């Protein structure tokens, strides 16, 4: 762990811990990656630029639209709000890895069959949230609440709700 | 998440980017406190739901982040530490003992925010619109604050001094929130008023608790408001006015009048002073009128 | 083999649900530069000096000034008055002044904050009423039939009121962006988020003084548009291309972040509409005098056409022999307003529909009854002289919506804080009569040796279903499986100009062209062909559509779609917020090509209409959006929108559309606001608030003033 070139630490003894760049090792969709990037680089940018996984989208950069929703150690998070230094040794799952084996996850299938996607930009985040909710239905009172953090400007949400219901385990 | 409009004093000719923020990840709480004691310009970083937005906007002055996410002392399943998230509280025993905490957690952003945002982060960000602080304050929360070689406790109700001004030194870290066991018999009320059902910054908010004595007078009461003062407001004077009195239309009317003198709402980009004044009184009435027997 | 009328799955659905669709920001380009636009912070002034602060390695940057523009510094729309980069006079906050590019985005950010523009400020005009009084009119229209002033004198009851609508931000979830490669040798190529590839081509040609065939425009997967990507992309494409040109042809990526997008791009025209209506005692509308005023902002952009549509939708679906509509759109120092779904109609329809409800209240009639007594029927004339030829039955349309909404039962059982409201409205499909003739759209179909068909159009898919609808039309016409039909990515190198993806024209106008071309191909399916066969057809106006641009008389639109909305709201007594509890819509749009896609369009448009009515407030300061952050611009989430119930009804008529299908893209956003405002008035015991959005603060003010 090296000091970033040109950085003057304001203290004595912590130089070697103060990192502008970090080597981070983590799993994404089951695959291990080890990269060296600025410590505070957003997970969103690491996914899209360093790993070439552009399925996760940026809609606002403020943690409001939900287009960048991914799973971090199984929890629903916004990739634009997670600095990569906090992903060390963790496991990330994105839309690209949702099904695990290359086939369609049942939520993806349901969105496809029920018109849950129109322009598609909110869709990856929406599907990740929906898949999470189906695994943890006790975490919200209903589907609308569960998806309140994923904004869609195209559908009016009706067909998204139908898609989620269609994917509900029987 | 609340503070984008709050300028951290960055001049127009300067904008900080991702390259201006080194990170220290201490492996123990002692190490963390050592850093705070000896390094200038350090900010603790937990869930990042406030700080990451500020960083992205370019409004944050360059600083060193102290990443506390790996501190073993803070990973406590039962306590409310600096790493306890809103999601952690929505599940579990907290819901039964402190229902308002679960109610407040539900109102924060949406699920993906709740899994990262922390209660102590909410306290330390000191937004007057904070969603978690009012419920904590209504439960008489105490903050445990640590610095190298010293621990102290501060009641949350005394923690804020002014807008973004708190009883916290640059070399201190809020490590834990202590909540006294609630006395039985309290009736609770939590309502956040926002521009939409979820994902909204509050225009006003009331976290209220009230307990009646055997003779139906008010034995104890907590009234905590968000977004109507430069910081989360515990309405001590209105509480005092009600304590010992029975709950009647008259005492409620007095309280609704008194609260207008305690709150200091403003016009801002989200709402108006007039709206905040009136709706705050409505919240108080909604809470109390429902309890008249 | 039936394709039309089936709810086929979206053709590009699999890439969309797997995250494989490629939007412009997803394109990774080796060695590209990142662009940034330097904008004015004052609303009106003259540029005195531009200073580049020391401390930035400016020699590493690509910098484009107005004087670097090779051709004409004007964005081609209807005129070319708006500059790509202002060189002397600044007319609005956010006006582009300079462009810079660098490969290091962090350095780019710092550099952008280290350019100082010295401006001699001039006073700005921000009031549309003042602008009208001082004569700063971009455009006026007037439509009149009969003598309304006379007719009003004979009315039993006069109802007069002024209505206001605020601006509205598109908030497509994919911000605007372009990638450009441009040089004198290679020509100009741009890839990006857009609705109208040929508009961009037409705008880039004079900018670089290049013939159009050296300009290539490619639409990437586009994450929402709603009109926001109709004309603004001309500007951002020009900027990206100018940077690349200055950089010797290096690729430049220019992607807006959300705050810049909200501040700088176009929004819905704010409106003020004054209506004076005369009724007989039993509610017959005998005279209508309407004054529409729109704020166009600092440059004309598409304001004249927005005003046109507002004017032509102002009188509502009612019979009235004495109507006058005077429309004006004025120039202020606000950020230029532009296309947004509905395009003037939501503003006009808000006024007339809320006015009819107000009139009903005054006359003591149910709002549905006053409408029933005045609905247009076949054979009636609109104020433009257009005879309603379609077999419309608006009473049936309304009654079906009322029945589905449980209107009568709920009216009999009033509940505290609950309100019901109704609106009935139409939307003309396609450009106004002469507009489609001017567009002269062309469509090509290529029949391959394996009998698969490529559809070559410049109309884009951005969620509304272009790819699927056009494939269904070809499949049905040629009797081949829809999977054998592919709509080619809109690339001006490969597709003809079938016009812009706007004005609810893709299904009816372009779909018809596709049908005609498919008919030509159908006969050739079984012949042996050495090569692919390409068929091109060009727009032919219907024989019976006549429109006079000068007098604004004739058939304004070749066909209209019709709809009724019933809104149910609950107004909260504690926080005065109005929330939708139910929403019902009946829709008449001729034949429905794909019911699931059509329903999705209606539901989405209604949600945007709900936002327009209750939540979306563009706070304007100095003519610019002050709340340009996602967190401070409130759109309804899944937890705010109600159940939206949609039923399609067809009034059979041989309209010009393919399989007699008409347009629906915009209509659903036209009707919710007045229905919701009427519902709120109903909840408040009859107090009509004449301005949207109906924020809780506004409702509170009405409640408080009612009590005093």
The helix or strand, by DSSP H or E, that contains position C609, with its residue range, turns out to be helix C595-610
B23: nearest CB among A39, A75, A145 = A39
Within a domain: B12 = no
Residues B52 and B69 in one domain: yes
Rounded mean pLDDT, C80-85:
95
Rounded CA Rg of chain B: 20
Residue from C135, C237, C153, C149 nearest C196 by CA: C237
Query: pLDDT tens-digit profile of B41-78?
Result: 999 999 999 999 999 988 899 999 999 999 999 998 88
Residues B164 and B222 in one domain: no
Residue from C400, C367, C244, C379 nearest C677 by CA: C367
Residues B209 and B235 in one domain: yes
Q: How much is the pLDDT for B10?
A: 33
pLDDT for residue B134 is more than 90: yes
pLDDT for residue C203 is more than 60: yes
CB C225 within 8 A of CB C169: no
Count CB neighbours of B258 within 10 A: 18
CB C507 within 8 A of CB C474: no
CB C254 within 8 A of CB C289: no
What is the rounded distance in angstroms from the CA atom of residue C564 to the CA atom of residue C584? 8
Tokens representing C347 are 């503003």
pLDDT for residue C708 is more than 80: no
Rounded mean pLDDT, B257-280:
97
Backbone CA torsion sign across A126, A129, A135, A136: negative
Q: How much is the pLDDT for C415?
A: 95
* pTM summary value: 0.97
Q: How many domains does chain B have?
A: 2
Question: Of residues C550 and A164, which shows the higher confidence score?
Answer: A164
pLDDT band per the 50, 70, 90 thresholds, residue C523: confident
Within a domain: B11 = no
ipTM of the complex as predicted: 0.97
Residues B173 and B55 in one domain: yes
Q: Residue C295, class by beta-carbon neighbours within 10 Å (0-12 exposed, 13-18 middle, 19+ buried)?
A: buried
What is the rounded distance in angstroms from the CA atom of residue C553 to the CA atom of residue C558? 13
Rounded mean pLDDT, C13-32:
96
Of B178, B202, B234, which residue sits at a domain end? B178
Report the CATH number that the domain containing residue B256 is assigned in CATH: 3.30.390.50
Query: pLDDT tens-digit profile of C601-645?
Result: 999 999 999 999 999 999 999 999 999 999 999 999 999 999 999
Residues B86 and B136 in one domain: yes
| Nearest chain B alpha carbon to C694 | B195
Residues B147 and B253 in one domain: no
Residues B142 and B265 in one domain: no
Interface residue ranges in chain B relative to chain C, Cβ cutoff 8 Å: 1, 4-5, 12-15, 17-19, 57-58, 191, 193, 195-201, 203, 269-272, 274-275, 278-279, 282-283, 286
What is the rounded distance in angstroms from the CA atom of residue C649 to the CA atom of residue C563? 9
SS3 content of chain A, % helix, strand, coil (to 5): 35, 20, 50
pLDDT for residue A14 is more than 70: no
**Which one of B194, B275, B284, B286 makes the best mutation probe of the C interface by having the most chain C beta carbons within 10 Å?**
B275
pLDDT band per the 50, 70, 90 thresholds, residue A17: low
What is the rounded distance in angstroms from the CA atom of residue A109 to the CA atom of residue A89? 31
What is the rounded distance in angstroms from the CA atom of residue B136 to the CA atom of residue B207? 9
Q: How much is the pLDDT for A13?
A: 54
Within a domain: B132 = yes
Residues B214 and B140 in one domain: no
Q: Which residues contact A97 (CB under 8 A, 6 or more apart)?
A: A28, A29, A30
Compute the C-alpha angle C440/C444/C450, nearest 5°.
Answer: 170
Q: How much is the pLDDT for C411?
A: 94
Chain C residues in contact with A48 by the CB 8 A cut-off are 26
Q: How much is the pLDDT for B59?
A: 84
Query: pLDDT tens-digit profile of A73-129?
Result: 999 999 999 999 999 999 999 999 998 777 999 999 999 999 999 999 999 999 999
Q: How much is the pLDDT for A99?
A: 83
pLDDT for residue B13 is more than 70: no
Report the CATH number that the domain containing residue B36 is assigned in CATH: 3.30.465.10
User: Is C258's CB within 8 Å of A94's CB?
Assistant: no
Q: What burial letters (b/e) apply to C416-455, b meaning 16+ CB within 10 Å?
A: eebbbbbbbbbbbbbbbbbbbeebebbbbbbbeeeeebbb
pLDDT for residue C68 is more than 60: yes
Q: How much is the pLDDT for B12?
A: 43
Q: What is the mean pLDDT of chain C?
A: 97
User: Is B23's CB within 8 Å of A40's CB?
Assistant: yes
The helix or strand, by DSSP H or E, that contains position B71, with its residue range, turns out to be none
What does the CA dihedral C303, C309, C310, C315 come to, rounded to 10 degrees?
160
Residues B43 and B167 in one domain: yes
Cis peptide before B247 (omega within 30 of 0): no
Distances (CA, A) of A25 to C35, C46, C67, C116, C435: 32, 54, 49, 42, 59
Identify the weakest region by mean pLDDT among A12-16, B152-156, B222-226.
Answer: A12-16
Within a domain: B171 = yes
Residue from C474, C544, C479, C475 nearest C510 by CA: C474
Within a domain: B113 = yes
Q: What is the mean pLDDT of chain B?
A: 93
CB C349 within 8 A of CB C316: yes
Chain B residues in contact with A63 by the CB 8 A cut-off are 1, 49, 52-53, 109, 113
User: Is A59's CB within 8 Å of C22's CB?
Assistant: no
Within a domain: B22 = yes
Residues B29 and B140 in one domain: yes
Of B130, B155, B178, which residue sits at a domain end? B178
CB A41 within 8 A of CB A49: no
Of B126, B153, B178, which residue sits at a domain end? B178
Rounded mean pLDDT, A34-53:
97
Within a domain: B231 = yes
pLDDT for residue C269 is more than 60: yes
CB C259 within 8 A of CB C628: yes
Within a domain: B6 = no
Containing structural domain, residue B165: 18-178
pLDDT band per the 50, 70, 90 thresholds, residue A148: very high
pLDDT band per the 50, 70, 90 thresholds, residue C544: confident
What is the rounded distance in angstroms from the CA atom of residue B199 to the CA atom of residue C636? 10
Residues B31 and B112 in one domain: yes
Q: How much is the pLDDT for C588?
A: 98
B neighbour chains, 3+ CB pairs within 8 Å: A, C
Q: What is the DSSP letter of C422?
A: E
Residues B29 and B153 in one domain: yes
């Amino acid at each position: 762990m090296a000091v970033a070139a040109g950085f003057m630490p304001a203290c004595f003894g912590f130089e070697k811990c103060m990192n502008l760049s970090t080597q981070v090792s983590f799993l994404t969709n089951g695959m291990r990656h080890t990269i060296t990037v600025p410590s505070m680089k957003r997970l969103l940018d690491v996914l899209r630029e360093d790993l070439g996984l552009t399925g996760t989208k940026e809609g606002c950069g403020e943690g409001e639209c939900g287009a960048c929703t991914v799973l971090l150690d199984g929890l629903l998070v916004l990739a634009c709000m997670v600095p990569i230094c906090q992903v060390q040794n963790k496991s990330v799952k994105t839309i690209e890895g949702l099904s695990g084996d290359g086939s369609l996850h049942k939520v993806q299938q349901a969105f496809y069959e029920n018109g849950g996607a129109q322009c598609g930009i909110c869709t990856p985040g929406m599907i990740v949230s929906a898949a999470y909710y189906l695994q943890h239905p006790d975490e919200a009172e209903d589907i609308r609440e569960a998806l309140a953090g994923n904004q869609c400007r195209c559908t009016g949400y009706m067909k998204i709700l139908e898609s989620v219901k269609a994917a509900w385990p029987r | 998440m609340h503070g984008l409009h709050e300028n951290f004093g960055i001049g127009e000719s300067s904008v900080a980017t991702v390259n201006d923020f080194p990170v220290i990840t201490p492996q123990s709480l002692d190490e963390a406190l050592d850093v705070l004691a000896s390094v200038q310009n350090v900010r603790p970083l937990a869930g990042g739901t406030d700080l990451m937005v500020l960083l992205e906007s370019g409004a944050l002055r360059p600083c060193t982040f102290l990443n506390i996410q790996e501190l073993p002392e803070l990973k406590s399943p039962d306590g409310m530490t600096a790493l306890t998230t809103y999601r952690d509280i929505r599940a579990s025993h907290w819901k039964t003992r402190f229902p308002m905490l679960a109610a407040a957690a539900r109102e924060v952003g949406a699920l993906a925010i709740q899994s990262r945002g922390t209660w102590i982060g909410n306290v330390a960000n000191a937004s007057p619109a904070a969603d978690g602080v009012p419920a904590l304050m209504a439960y008489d929360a105490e903050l445990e604050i640590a610095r190298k070689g010293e621990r102290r406790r501060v009641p949350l109700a005394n923690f804020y001094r002014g807008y973004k001004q708190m009883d916290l030194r640059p070399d201190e870290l809020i490590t834990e929130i202590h909540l006294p066991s609630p006395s039985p018999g309290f009736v609770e009320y939590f309502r956040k008023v926002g521009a939409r059902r979820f994902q909204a910054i509050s225009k006003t908010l009331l976290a209220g608790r009230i307990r009646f004595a055997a003779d139906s007078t008010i034995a104890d009461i907590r009234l905590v408001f968000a977004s109507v003062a430069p910081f989360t407001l515990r309405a001590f004077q209105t509480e005092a006015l009600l304590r010992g009195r029975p709950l009647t239309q008259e005492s409620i009317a007095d309280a609704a009048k008194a609260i207008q003198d305690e709150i200091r709402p403003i016009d801002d980009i989200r709402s108006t002073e007039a709206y905040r004044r009136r709706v705050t009184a409505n919240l108080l009435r909604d809470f109390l009128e429902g309890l008249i027997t | 083999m039936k394709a039309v009328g089936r709810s086929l799955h979206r053709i590009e659905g699999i890439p969309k649900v797997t995250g494989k669709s490629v939007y412009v920001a997803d394109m990774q380009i080796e060695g590209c530069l990142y662009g940034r636009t330097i904008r004015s912070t004052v609303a009106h002034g003259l540029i005195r000096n531009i200073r580049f602060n020391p401390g930035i390695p400016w020699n590493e940057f690509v910098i484009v000034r107005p004087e670097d523009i090779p051709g004409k510094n004007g964005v081609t729309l209807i005129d070319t008055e708006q500059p790509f980069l202002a060189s002397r006079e600044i007319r609005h906050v956010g006006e582009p002044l300079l462009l810079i590019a660098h490969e290091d985005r962090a350095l780019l950010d710092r550099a952008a904050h280290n350019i100082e523009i010295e401006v001699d400020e001039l006073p700005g005009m921000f009031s549309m009423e003042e602008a009208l009084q001082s004569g700063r009119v971009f455009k006026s229209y007037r439509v009149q039939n009969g003598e309304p002033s006379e007719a009003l004198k004979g009315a039993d009851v006069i109802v007069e009121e002024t209505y206001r609508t605020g601006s509205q931000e598109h908030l497509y979830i994919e911000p605007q962006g372009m990638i450009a490669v441009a040089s004198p040798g290679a020509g100009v190529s741009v890839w990006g988020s857009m609705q109208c590839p040929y508009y961009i081509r037409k705008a880039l040609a004079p900018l670089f003084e290049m013939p159009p065939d050296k300009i290539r425009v490619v639409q990437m997967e586009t994450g929402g548009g709603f009109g926001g990507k109709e004309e603004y992309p001309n500007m951002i494409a020009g900027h990206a291309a100018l940077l690349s040109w200055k950089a010797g042809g290096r690729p430049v990526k220019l992607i807006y972040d959300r705050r810049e997008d909200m501040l700088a791009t176009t929004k819905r025209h704010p409106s003020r509409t004054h209506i004076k209506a005369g009724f007989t005692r039993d509610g017959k509308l005998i005279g209508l005098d309407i004054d529409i005023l729109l704020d166009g902002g600092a440059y004309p952009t598409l304001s004249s056409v927005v005003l046109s549509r507002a004017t032509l939708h102002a009188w509502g679906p009612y019979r009235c022999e004495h109507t006058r509509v005077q429309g004006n759109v004025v120039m202020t120092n606000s950020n230029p307003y532009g296309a947004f779904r509905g395009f003037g109609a939501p503003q006009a329809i808000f006024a007339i529909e809320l006015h009819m409800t107000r009139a009903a209240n005054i006359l003591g009639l149910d709002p549905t009854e006053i409408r029933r007594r005045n609905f247009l029927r076949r054979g009636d004339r609109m104020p433009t002289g257009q005879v309603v030829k379609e077999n419309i039955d608006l009473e049936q349309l309304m009654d079906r919506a009322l029945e589905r909404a449980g209107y009568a039962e709920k009216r009999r059982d009033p509940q505290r804080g609950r309100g019901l409201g109704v609106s009935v409205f139409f939307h003309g499909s396609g450009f106004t009569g002469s507009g489609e003739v001017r567009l002269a759209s062309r469509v090509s179909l290529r029949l391959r040796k394996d009998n698969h068909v490529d559809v070559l159009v410049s109309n884009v898919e951005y969620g509304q279903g272009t790819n699927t609808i056009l494939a269904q039309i070809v499949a049905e016409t040629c009797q081949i499986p829809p999977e054998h039909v592919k709509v080619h990515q809109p690339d001006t190198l490969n597709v003809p100009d079938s016009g812009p993806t706007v004005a609810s024209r893709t299904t009816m106008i372009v779909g018809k062209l596709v049908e005609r071309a498919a008919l030509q191909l159908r006969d050739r399916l079984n012949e042996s062909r050495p090569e692919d066969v390409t068929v091109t057809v060009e727009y032919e106006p219907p024989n019976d559509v006549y429109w006079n641009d000068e007098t604004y008389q004739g058939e304004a639109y070749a066909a209209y779609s019709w709809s009724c909305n019933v809104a149910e709201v609950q107004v909260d007594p504690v926080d005065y917020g109005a929330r939708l509890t139910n929403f019902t819509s009946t829709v008449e749009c001729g034949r429905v090509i794909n019911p699931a896609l059509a329903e999705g369009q209606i539901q989405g448009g209604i949600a945007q209409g709900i936002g327009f009515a209750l939540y979306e407030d563009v706070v304007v300061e100095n003519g610019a959006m002050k709340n340009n952050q996602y967190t401070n611009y409130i759109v309804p989430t899944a937890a705010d929108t109600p159940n939206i119930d949609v039923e399609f009804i067809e009034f059979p008529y041989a309209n010009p559309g393919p399989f007699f299908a008409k347009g629906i893209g915009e209509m659903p956003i036209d009707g919710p606001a007045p229905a919701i405002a009427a519902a709120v008035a109903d909840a408040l015991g009859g107090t009509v608030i004449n301005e949207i959005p109906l924020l809780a603060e506004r409702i509170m003010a009405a409640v408080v003033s009612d009590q005093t």
